[in-house]
């Protein structure tokens, strides 16, 4: 009898279990902790257990805190487990941890499981299965809004203009660093060509709703619109894998794609051993370029930007580490615009605030924006343009035929090693072609390159734009980049 009691105690310690599928306490966000939900009353051998994996800045509570995903699984007859990984570590650390825990979960249930992984959790899952051999324990993987090819918002966070704010907000960490598109290009090269990749089937789900004006995902969505349809944090293109079946691209934003009542019915047909799925078509990207500035404000900070003729709409965003700033936007005729929404920032810039305004048919000429604060602020200022000029800018940068005149560029390049700034260079303003020829990426590391463009259109209308490039160079000197200059 004593031996039986001791055995039960050991099992409880090794395999923590939480009752009540709809009333989880969770693991408190302690990395490495996992727990099982209430067992279903009538287990179906055709229904493998589900392991839910959270994303960036998250924890296991994402699946049941104001979310019925855990309840949906239980009500539909699926045993489930939930795990806490590091919210701020890269896919290498989290992948190793997840692989070890998947072995425990496999032993607990006595069979293979299905992974349902949200956002960066999908990348952590691939790392576990492919690079740490956890494919032995998994039937298939379903990813929800996962940035499989990185996040342009992560590129922005490590750029020259935005780095100060990202630092203040505490978002310059291993997780965000690893989500830069150049770094992820290298990860994809290592992962997609690995023999273990073929041992598990992958399915993806993507969203194309960015949230309404003034919502937490509005800024990210408008910024990412430059790269195509997105969910406010991840573009649809980056949420896909070339060898995975994309189940659907729906009207979900990055917060709603994880909600059980919205997406569990979409991927539930895949939650049986013999499941199959149909592919949905990808949407076309519409590449465009913003204007970006950032830094410190010690009281009053004013920035100027040009709006060329023919712009249909601009959106203006002032991100800050606090919400008390007084923002004033003025058009070329001196007319003020004060109708700004304010929202908390999300995802890569979580912890800050953003003032946003949208102006249709803006007047051409020089606009001004000013922020007045009583305390020092770190800020990031971004303007996006709905403009026919975007294709001409791309042509000028890629040396194709363009009607733009006197396009000049200034370049600021930052090289990081293991997440820390190792080198910073600035190139004097010159023609875009001359500067592009002078860029060098010989040293190993992660490069963030900010290119600020200025010039005139064919009708002599001035314009400004900013391009951010993310380039990873490995120890062999191989260069990896998801170029922002191509669609």
Place of tokens 């830069």: 180
Residue 9: pLDDT band with limits 50, 70, 90: very low
Q: Give me 150's structure tokens.
A: 């990185």
Q: Worst-scoring range by mean pLDDT, 19-28, 70-79, 147-156, 208-217?
A: 19-28
pLDDT for 20 beyond 70: no
Does residue 234 carry a pLDDT above 50?
A: yes
3-state secondary structure of 143: strand
Q: How many distinct helices (H) and strands (E) make up the chain?
A: 12, 21
* Percent of the chain predicted with pLDDT > 70: 88
Instruction: Give 353-397 pLDDT, tens digit per residue.
Output: 999 999 999 999 999 999 998 888 999 999 999 998 887 887 777
Q: Are 205 and 142 in contact (CB under 8 A)?
A: yes
Q: Mapping DSSP to helix (H, G, I), strand (E, B) and coil, where does residue 335 land? A: coil
Parallel, antiparallel or unpaired: strands 300-307 and 365-372: antiparallel
Angle at 99 between CA 420 and CA 193, to 5 degrees: 75
Give me the half-sphere count of Cα atoms (radius 13 Å) on the Cβ side of residue 209. Answer: 13
- pLDDT band with cut points at 50, 70 and 90 for residue 399: low
The domain 289-385 having CATH identifier 3.40.50.720: the answer here is: no
Average pLDDT score, the chain: 88
CATH class of 31-149+167-268: alpha beta
- Neighbouring residues of 328: CB distance < 8 A, sequence distance ≥ 6: 336, 337, 338, 369, 370, 371, 372
What would the mean pLDDT of 45-70 be, rounded to a whole number?
Answer: 96
pLDDT digits (tens, 9 = 90+) for 444-477: 999 999 999 998 888 888 999 999 999 999 999 9
More confidently predicted of 282 and 365: 365
Q: Is 283 exposed, middle or buried (0-12, 13-18, 19+ CB in 10 A)?
A: middle
For residue 53, what are its two tokens?
Answer: 């994996």
Measured CA angle at 190 (ends 134, 106), to 5 deg: 5
Question: What digits encode the pLDDT tens for the residues 401-446?
Answer: 566 767 888 999 999 999 999 999 988 777 776 766 677 788 999 9
With the C-alpha atoms ordered 247, 252, 253, 254, is the resulting torsion angle positive or negative?
negative
Question: Which of 130-144, 178-192, 436-450 comes out lowest in average pLDDT?
Answer: 436-450
> Which tokens is 17 given?
């279990």
Residue 2 has pLDDT above 90, yes or no: no
**What is the number of other CB atoms lying within 10 angstroms of the CB of residue 403?**
12
Q: Does residue 247 surpass a pLDDT of 60?
A: yes
Whether residue 41 contacts residue 75, with contact meaning beta carbons closer than 8 Å, is answered with no
pLDDT, residue 15, reads 40
Taking residue 13's Cβ as centre, other Cβ atoms within 10 Å add up to 8
Query: Is 70 exceeded by the pLDDT of residue 4?
Result: no
CA–CA distance, 143 with 116 (Å, rounded to integer): 6
Give every strand in the sheet of 462-473, ordered side by side. 420-431, 405-417, 445-456, 462-473, 479-481
Residues 173/350, Cβ–Cβ less than 8 Å? no
**Per-domain residue ranges of the chain:** 31-149+167-268, 289-385, 393-486
- Whether 274 shows a pLDDT value over 70: the answer reads no
Is it the case that residue 85 has pLDDT exceeding 80? yes
Distance, CA of 89 to CA of 161 (rounded, Å): 24
Query: Do residues 239 and 147 make contact, with C-beta atoms less than 8 angstroms apart?
Result: yes
Output the DSSP codes for 235-265. BTGGG--TTSEEEEEES--TTTTT-HHHHHH
Q: Is the pLDDT of residue 484 over 70?
A: no
- Taking the C-alpha atoms of residue 178 and residue 336, their distance in angstroms, rounded to an integer, is 41
- Which residues fall within 8 angstroms of residue 249, CB to CB, at 6 or more apart? 205, 206, 207, 208, 229, 236, 280, 282, 283
Is the pLDDT confidence value at 50 over 90? Answer: yes
Q: Are 86 and 94 in contact (CB under 8 A)?
A: yes
Judge whether 131 and 322 are in contact, CB under 8 Å.
no
Give the rounded distance of the alpha carbon of 255 from its chain centre.
12
């Amino acid at each position: 009898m004593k031996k039986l009691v001791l055995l039960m105690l050991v099992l409880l310690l090794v395999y923590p279990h939480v009752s009540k599928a709809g009333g989880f306490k969770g693991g408190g966000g302690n990395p490495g902790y996992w727990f099982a939900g209430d067992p279903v009353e009538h287990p179906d051998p055709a229904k493998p257990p589900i392991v839910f994996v959270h994303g960036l800045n998250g924890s296991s509570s994402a699946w049941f805190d104001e979310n019925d995903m855990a309840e949906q699984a239980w009500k539909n007859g699926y045993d489930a487990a939930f795990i806490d990984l590091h919210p701020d570590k890269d896919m290498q650390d989290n992948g190793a941890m997840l692989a070890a825990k998947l072995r425990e979960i496999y032993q607990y249930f006595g069979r293979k499981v299905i992974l349902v992984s949200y956002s960066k959790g999908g990348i952590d899952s691939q790392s576990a299965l492919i690079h740490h051999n956890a494919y032995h324990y998994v039937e298939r993987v379903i990813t929800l809004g996962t940035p499989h090819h990185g996040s342009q918002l992560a590129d922005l966070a490590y750029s020259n203009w935005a780095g100060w704010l990202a630092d203040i907000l505490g978002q310059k960490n291993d997780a965000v660093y690893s989500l830069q598109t150049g770094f992820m290009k290298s990860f994809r090269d290592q992962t997609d060509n690995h023999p273990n990749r073929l041992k598990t089937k992958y399915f993806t789900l993507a969203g194309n709703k960015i949230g309404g004006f003034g919502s937490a995902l509005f800024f990210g969505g408008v910024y990412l619109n430059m790269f195509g349809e997105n969910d406010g944090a991840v573009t649809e293109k980056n949420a896909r894998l070339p060898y995975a079946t994309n189940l659907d691209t729906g009207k979900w934003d990055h917060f709603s794609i994880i909600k059980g009542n919205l997406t569990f019915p979409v991927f539930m047909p895949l939650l049986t051993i013999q499941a199959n799925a149909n592919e949905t078509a990808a949407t076309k990207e519409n590449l465009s370029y913003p204007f970006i500035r950032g830094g410190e404000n010690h009281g009053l900070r004013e920035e100027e930007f040009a709006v060329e003729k023919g712009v249909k709409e601009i959106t203006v965003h002032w991100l800050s580490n606090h919400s008390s700033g007084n923002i004033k936007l003025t058009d070329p005729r001196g007319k003020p615009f004060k109708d700004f929404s304010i929202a908390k920032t999300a995802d890569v810039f979580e912890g800050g605030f953003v003032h946003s305004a949208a102006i249709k048919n803006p007047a051409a000429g020089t606009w001004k924006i000013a922020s007045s604060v009583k305390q020092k602020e770190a800020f990031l200022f971004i303007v996006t343009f709905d403009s026919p000029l975007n294709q001409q800018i791309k042509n000028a940068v890629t040396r194709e035929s363009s009607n733009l005149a006197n396009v000049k560029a200034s370049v600021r390049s930052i090289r990081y090693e293991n997440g820390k700034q190792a080198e910073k260079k600035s190139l004097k303003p010159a023609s875009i072609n001359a500067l592009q020829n002078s860029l060098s990426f010989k040293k190993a590391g992660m490069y963030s390159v900010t290119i600020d463009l200025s010039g005139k259109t064919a009708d002599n209308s001035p314009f400004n734009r900013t391009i951010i490039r993310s380039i990873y160079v490995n120890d062999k000197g191989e260069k990896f980049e998801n170029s922002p200059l191509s669609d």
